Chains A and B, each alone.
Chain A
Amino acid sequence: MSARRSPLSSVRIRLANMVGRSDNTHGLIPRARLIGPIPSVIAVMIALSVMAAAAALALSNLAGNAQAEIAGGVTVQVVEADRTERERQTALALDLLRSLPDVVQLRRVPDAELHDLLEPWLGDNFAADSTIPMPSLIDIRLAGEVTPARLDELQATLEPVAPAARVDAQSAWLGPVLRAVDSLRWLALGLIVLIGAISIAAVWLAARSAMAANRTTIEIIYMLGASDDQIARIFQRSAARDAALGAAIGFLIGLAAIAVLARRFGALGSGMVDSAWLLTGDWLAIGAIPFIGVALAFLTARVTVLNALRRML
């Protein structure tokens, strides 16, 4: 047979181009799929992350809303058993407060309202019993932040006209709550980091076992001139595909959990929860979680495979 008829002459393959971008390595390692536990592990991890993130963000918003609502809020109580004296001092305090430039809002809490507030604690016929003295309440809002110094100053200003007046910041009770919420936020963040670490470990294990299972094939295509990148691409593609499946499922589970929780809290009818509890930015952050998960799986698989290959030869 002559060389002219040789099939080899029909192979026009320019060796110089060989290193180029190639992606037809799909069928090379059919069993490289990390399938095993990866989609379910990622699904659980994404669901947990979504829930933790939603809880943390909602708590922040709650605390933020509460804080904003009562920021600058100050309560002046006139605690005086004698009704006439109490009314006199209250009226003087109101006049004085009205004249202060940094008081932007001022309202005397009507006795009826006060009555409603106290009723659950004192019984519904306590009003008839005028022997129980009630303070009079003035809600004011200061421009800017309420600092202990400003409270002291206000107290001192009121002292001459209304010695029975007691000045309190409305946010005083909120401090411990805010600190608790802050701890919860850190806890949630720690959880998410932990979940991420476990996911990375799971993908690392899966990629390594997939490589071990396909070691012979990898060695062969390596000898035939496959580059590290080509081999890594086979595995990272599988990892990303499996992780995407898991992330989609986990995300839906997480969203469902959020919806159920939102409904339950909504049913409480608490004044705190019905303000927007997740903002647009929060939803964007939660929506990014599955994508971050897939990217992590992709990168983990790639780094794992590249490291293992470097050790192979």
Chain B
Amino acid sequence: MSAAGRAVVRFDNVGLRYGTDREVLSDISFTLDPGRFYFLTGASGAGKTSLLRLLYLAQRPSRGIIEMFGQDLITTPREKLPSYRRRIGVVFQDFRLVTHLSAFDNVALPLRLSGLPERDIARPVADILDWVGLSHRAEASPASLSGGEQQRVAIARAVIGRPEILVADEPTGNVDPDMALKLLRLFEALNRLGTTVVVATHDVHLLDRLPDPQRFVLERGRLAQDGGSHRGGGR
């Protein structure tokens, strides 16, 4: 287990329930070290998306402690959360592209929200679209893109701001194996630049592509210990 001070994320006994239903996540405890690559696997409905939602601050837990960037986020007032969200890149399972904006403008969103002047936006957006192979579709609206293309736009948008944490929910679910590998390489490149990457996936083959993946397994809302080389923290 890493020293608590160095961890970029720490969950301690976190539980989540939607409304008054039973808990969909229970007793979740783990830490994420900066600059590492994590996989989160588990059956459909196990709670992967729910856990990631806590991680990208879309949701507050029902109980437990969540610390990120050395900050207790349970007591952080909501006005402060946007500045933390901007340090986290998210690939949503359902992409969540803004339908009336072009691929280019969707990718540019995080930069615009962070107040970057317009002249500093065109270049990086074009570069990242090129990287995901969508230069020729920059002006296309999301509705006119294929599922895989939308997914790549979503990934480009998640990484454009060079986040400290990248959270990706099934980021390769809609692309062919070659593209999946390419996107994984993108995540790796980002990871090498210091970003902590968390990828939730069903795709076990994807795990084999990485030399030293750290893996979490969710089973019906609880973390099961896995066989990864580094322990991500106990229960």
Contact = CB atoms under 8 A, between A and B. Distances in A.
Nearest to A23: B115
A221 B160 contact: no
B115 A24 contact: yes
Which among B78, B92, B116, B164 has the highest number of chain A CB atoms within 10 Å?
B116
A22 B120 CA distance: 14
A110 interface: no
Given A11-B160, A223-B96, A310-B78, A22 B114 contact: yes
B82 interface: yes
Contacts of A219: 96
Interface string A11-40: 111010111111111011011000000000
Contacts of A3: 189, 192-193
A9 interface: yes
Interface residues of B, number: 47
Contacts of B117: 24
A6 interface: yes
Interface string B16-43: 0000000000000000000000000000
B213 interface: no
A220 B96 contact: yes
A10 B127 contact: yes
B110 interface: yes
Given A8-B162, A225-B86, A31 B100 contact: yes
Q: Taking chain A's interface residues, is the majority helix, strand, or loop, or is none over half, making it mixed?
A: helix
Contacts, number: 119
B35 to A, nearest CB: 13
A234 to B, nearest CB: 11
A228 interface: yes
Contacts of B111: 11, 13
A8 B113 contact: no
A223 B161 contact: no
A313 B57 CA distance: 10
Nearest to A30: B100
A28 B111 CA distance: 12
A1 interface: yes
Which among B115, B160, B193 has the highest number of chain A CB atoms within 10 Å?
B115
B154 to A, nearest CB: 10
8 contacts: A6-B131, A6-B193, A7-B127, A8-B189, A11-B160, A219-B96, A223-B92, A225-B114
Interface of B: 56, 58, 78-79, 82-83, 85-88, 90, 92, 96-101, 105, 109-118, 120, 123-124, 127-128, 130-131, 157, 159-162, 164, 185, 189-190, 192-193
